[in-house]
Amino acid sequence: MAILLKAADMEAAAGLEIETQEISDKTGKVAGRLPDVGRLAFLDAQSGMTAIRSIALRMIEPEGSIAYILELLNDPEDAQYNLKPEIAAIKKTAQKCLENSQQINQKFRYWYLVIMHLKETSLSKKGDIVKEKETTNLKQKEEESKEQRFDKKKQALKERISLLKTTLDEIQRRVDKKEDEVQWLRHAPVQPEPSILEDIELVRRMIPQVEAPTINRGRVVGVKDFFFGQSNAHREEDEAILRKHEAKIERMRQEAMDMARAQRREKLEKAASELKQAKEEEAELVEELKTARKELSNSTDQLAEVSANLERAKSEFQRLKKKDLELEGILAILENSSRELGHLKEKIEKLVEFFQQMLVEIQDNVEIGLQDFLRPIENGIKEGKTPEQVEAIKVSDKSKRKIMSSALLMQGRFSAIMDISTAYIAVSRDYIRPAITEMEDLSAMSESEWAVQSKHFLTKCKTWTEDIETVTKKASDRVEVNAKMHMNALQARAIEAAEEV
């Protein structure tokens, strides 16, 4: 695959187009699209196998679903409320295990279809390249008209540059003027804020202290107050008038002081606002100036590019004669890709076969083994008061032996499934996914790096292959041992449950 990725990154391969990204099976039905391949398949497989392992473990562990159902057969009281829910749960769990296996199998079968699609595409492209060689002669004639088009574009760009220079000068004058305005506003004299004492003195001059008004109570009352003193009522009344008068003076002074401060603050805010606006206008003009300069620079670059294209157009006719050599290179890539796709197809076939075998094993265990295990139990159930309850379980000795036999068979199969999925997860995590990452890095290397690193990668792959074979062998050796262990544990648990009755 690294060779294929490297070939796809070559300059000569840039002219190749995928005829269709739709992947079809043998019947012609569309199964998917090209991007859904590679790393995603292995990620999904590892995730799915992790789920399968978890389900298998829940099935066969000492307190697992199979063991618990066998215990319920010998415990009518517990079975009354728990047997039916447990049967429904084990069916659901087994179905989920089957669905995970089906999804993994479909993913790798789809990847296999992708490889076949790419191989067929590479073969069909050979005919397209031959046709492209014929069109090369037509392109030679097109080059004769390019020179005239480039010459017209060159003249138009010269006029555009002249106009841009005039515009640039005008914007520069506006920027200079606005900069002067900003500088003036920035350094304009600001009236200092008076101190509190100065404010108080100012309002005292503006609003001087005047005597409070008096109440005319008549001459008789006045003579009386003079000789005998004011009455408390008159004194309190005069004091109230005095306090009111002084409060009024103080309020008027405070209002005057607040107004003066507000006016000064308004002036400062206005000055700040004018400075801010001037700065913003200056920034806008500077940005406009940058844009004009950039446009002038781009137009100048375009002029240089057009001038260069004008010269290149004269030699393009000769270049097209060499097109045949490039097309030959593309043909070589297609032949090499077709060969490597054939090798990759063989590898994928083995993966498809592996997951198909696991699917068959799980499907047989779920659709046949589980039914053989549950059918005698469900047939022996006497319905309770509610759909979830069981009044009694009547299972003959012969049926019990069949149930136990089916349970042991399922226990052994799920034990094997757990061991196989555990081994695959380890291989995927430790070898396959790291190899894909290195392969992707390898495909992006330069030619000099590729020559060295590709050999190093192949050597590492051989080591990984040996390690995978070791992991596989150890897992294979454990399958039978673990299956017997789990079957014996289940049988012992069933005997214990029967003896407790």
Place of tokens 């199998």: 105
List residues bridging with 382 in a β-sheet.
392
6: confidence class by pLDDT, cuts 50, 70, 90: very low
Tell me the mean pLDDT in the region 99-127: 70
Which stretch of 78-82, 192-196, 485-489 has the lowest confidence by average pLDDT?
192-196
Q: How far apart are CA 104 and CA 354, in angstroms?
A: 11
The chain-wide mean pLDDT, for the chain, equals 72
Tell me the mean pLDDT in the region 420-430: 82
Structure tokens at 358: 């696991």
29: confidence class by pLDDT, cuts 50, 70, 90: low
Place of tokens 């429904």: 88
Residue 36 reports pLDDT greater than 70: no
Q: Which residue has the higher pLDDT, 100 or 38?
A: 100
* 390 phi, psi to nearest 5 deg: -125, 125
Residue 72 reports pLDDT greater than 80: yes
Distances in Å between the Cα of 496 and the Cα atoms of 60, 71, 82 are: 17, 9, 19
DSSP 200-231: HHHHHHHS---PPP-----HHHHHHHHHH---
Distances in Å between the Cα of 311 and the Cα atoms of 8, 140, 147, 160, 317 are: 32, 16, 8, 21, 12
Please report the pLDDT score of residue 17 as a whole number.
47
Which stretch of 54-58, 353-357, 407-411 has the lowest confidence by average pLDDT?
353-357
Tell me the mean pLDDT in the region 468-482: 81
Highest mean pLDDT among 196-200, 299-303, 368-372: 368-372
Residue 34 reports pLDDT greater than 50: no
Residue 35 reports pLDDT greater than 50: no
pLDDT in tens, 167-197: 777 777 777 776 776 676 666 565 566 666 7
* 368 phi, psi to nearest 5 deg: -110, -55
The pLDDT > 70 percentage for the chain reads 60
275: confidence class by pLDDT, cuts 50, 70, 90: low
Query: Residue 428: CB partners within 8 Å, gap ≥ 6?
Result: 42, 45, 46, 49
Please report the pLDDT score of residue 218 as a whole number.
59
Please report the pLDDT score of residue 18 as a whole number.
46
Residue 152 reports pLDDT greater than 70: yes
Tell me the mean pLDDT in the region 121-138: 67
| Rounded (to 5) percent helix, strand, coil in the chain | 85, 5, 15
Residue 497 reports pLDDT greater than 60: no
Please report the pLDDT score of residue 22 as a whole number.
54
Number of H helices, E strands in the chain: 12, 4
Which stretch of 57-66, 218-227, 309-318, 349-358 has the lowest confidence by average pLDDT?
218-227
357: confidence class by pLDDT, cuts 50, 70, 90: confident
Residue 59 reports pLDDT greater than 80: yes
Q: How far apart are CA 414 and CA 487, in angstroms?
A: 10
Residue 366 and residue 94 in contact, taking contact as beta carbons nearer than 8 Å? yes
Residue 444 reports pLDDT greater than 50: yes
Please report the pLDDT score of residue 183 as a whole number.
72
3: confidence class by pLDDT, cuts 50, 70, 90: very low
Distances in Å between the Cα of 372 and the Cα atoms of 168, 383, 395, 408 are: 89, 20, 14, 11
Place of tokens 């700065």: 279
The distance of Cα 473 from the centroid of its chain, to the nearest Å, equals: 39
Residue 8 reports pLDDT greater than 50: no
Residue 93 reports pLDDT greater than 80: yes
User: DSSP 3-state assignment of 31?
Assistant: strand
Query: Residue 1: CB partners within 8 Å, gap ≥ 6?
Result: 38, 340, 344, 439
Q: Which residue has the higher pLDDT, 230 or 452?
A: 452
> What's the N-to-C CA distance of the chain in angstroms?
62
List residues bridging with 383 in a β-sheet.
390
287: confidence class by pLDDT, cuts 50, 70, 90: confident
Please report the pLDDT score of residue 228 as a whole number.
58
pLDDT in tens, 197-250: 766 677 777 777 767 666 665 565 555 555 555 666 666 766 677 688 777 777
Please report the pLDDT score of residue 5 as a whole number.
41
Structure tokens at 354: 């592996």
Tell me the mean pLDDT in the region 5-17: 42
Please report the pLDDT score of residue 130 as a whole number.
67
Please report the pLDDT score of residue 394 as a whole number.
85
Tell me the mean pLDDT in the region 49-67: 84
The distance of Cα 272 from the centroid of its chain, to the nearest Å, equals: 46
Tell me the mean pLDDT in the region 436-440: 73
